[in-house]
Amino acid sequence: MRNQIAAANWKMNLTYQEGEQLMNDIVKASIHLKGHQKAIFAVPFPYLMMAIGKTASMVNYAASAQNCYEKKSGAYTGEVSAEMLHSIGIKYCVLGHSERRAYFNESNLVLAEKIARCLESGITPIFCCGEPLDIREAGTQNSYVGAQLKESLFGFNAQQLQKMVIAYEPIWAIGTGKTATTEQAQEMHAYIRAELEKHYSHAVASDIPILYGGSVKAGNAKELFSCPDVDGGLVGGASLVAKDFIEIIKALK
């Protein structure tokens, strides 16, 4: 079975003390994850060592960065490289979140570079893709997401692709309280998997976890995760509430 993943994205929220308490509350729940299930915590850079420490003794729990820079090293004040993340034990990095694309003008080609840096450092990229409201309303979401996949992912070979996780985030459903219907989520996840099969193979496409990232909550996680091509969630607001994220982890297939 493909890996099933509950990934928390704290974004730019919580003080260190609040984050530590949240991690404590989740870890204390002692949720036993099966071999194919993972709980990942994408926390702000200053909290990475804390998150690593909290998850170190937990099976299939891990810390993740929310971003990295596209260059290996150099005079880039304020940036953090994939090599730096690897050196402290980070195994995952979220790339291409819609907020990074919108506020920091990250292009598909820049994201391809970031993916390359992560792979070189042994870090699993969690690559985000998805369409804004105007694209969804125009009915062109498939070609829009297809272009994101083509420009950011399809330059990598099959072995490299199999080291990645994809997260589909309908931008119109992030932080708006709107959620894609189960049918809409499954439809796009199936399209993404079909594109992977077209450019690689059935075996490769069947092996890649595709997460849903649009207002996943404790109340809808089980239904969303029950879709055949939805392999968990990239969770924003609900990941900041211990009892909610605990229920989301428990909803994994």
Active site residues: 97, 169
Q: What is the DSSP letter of 239?
A: G
Of 83, 49, 44, 46, which is closest to residue 67 (Cα–Cα)? 44
What are the two backbone dihedrals, phi and then psi, of residue 157, each rounded to the nearest 5 degrees?
Answer: -80, 175
Which is nearest to 7 in space by CA: 166, 200, 133, 156?
166
Q: Which residue has the tokens 């998997």?
A: 193
Tokens of 57: 């003794």
CA 181/CA 165 separation, integer angstroms = 22
Alpha-carbon distance of 213 to 97, in angstroms, equals 10
